């Protein structure tokens, strides 16, 4: 069975001490990494939950609106339901782009320093 993971490295990496982990955790660079993640993930999570709850509330309490036919047998409820899936995939794609551009380079720099590579 093939995997995408590279084979284990033959060279030994220095394991950081608990003090080194604490030092990195308190560093400005790690704080910036955390801020960058939180400033993206938290607002998007809140927005998506609000969007989902709006859909559920409309489904429960606005049956007339949700049953409105748009074309053929396609109604508002169906369109909003499909939009939930589309939104989920768009957020995942957007996060992967954000992580690759902003989070991964910072995390890799911190990791390489912790492992003694820098």
Query: What does the pLDDT read at residue 13?
Result: 63
For the cut 90, the answer to whether the pLDDT of residue 89 exceeds it is yes
Alpha-carbon distance of 68 to 117, in angstroms, equals 61
Q: How many CA atoms lie within 13 A of 89 on its CB side?
A: 4
SS3 8: coil
Band of residue 62 on the pLDDT scale cut at 50, 70, 90 = very high
Which candidate, 35, 24, 27, places its Cα nearest to that of 112?
A: 24
pTM: 0.74
Alpha-carbon distance of 14 to 91, in angstroms, equals 37
Query: What does the pLDDT read at residue 43?
Result: 96
| Beta partners for residue 71, in sequence order | 74
What is the CB neighbour count within 10 angstroms for residue 70? 10
Alpha-carbon distance of 34 to 36, in angstroms, equals 5
Residue carrying the six token digits 């939180």: 38
């Amino acid at each position: 069975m093939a995997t995408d993971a590279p084979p284990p490295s033959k060279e030994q990496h220095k394991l950081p001490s608990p003090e080194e982990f604490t030092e990195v955790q308190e560093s400005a660079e790690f704080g910036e990494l955390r801020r960058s993640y939180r400033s993206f993930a938290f607002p998007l999570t809140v927005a998506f939950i609000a969007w989902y709850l709006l859909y559920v509330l409309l489904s429960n309490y606005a049956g007339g609106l949700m049953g409105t036919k748009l074309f053929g047998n396609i109604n508002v409820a169906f369109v909003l339901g499909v939009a939930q899936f589309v939104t989920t995939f768009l957020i995942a794609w957007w996060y992967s782009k954000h992580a690759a551009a902003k989070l991964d380079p910072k995390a890799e720099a911190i990791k390489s320093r912790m492992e003694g590579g820098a």
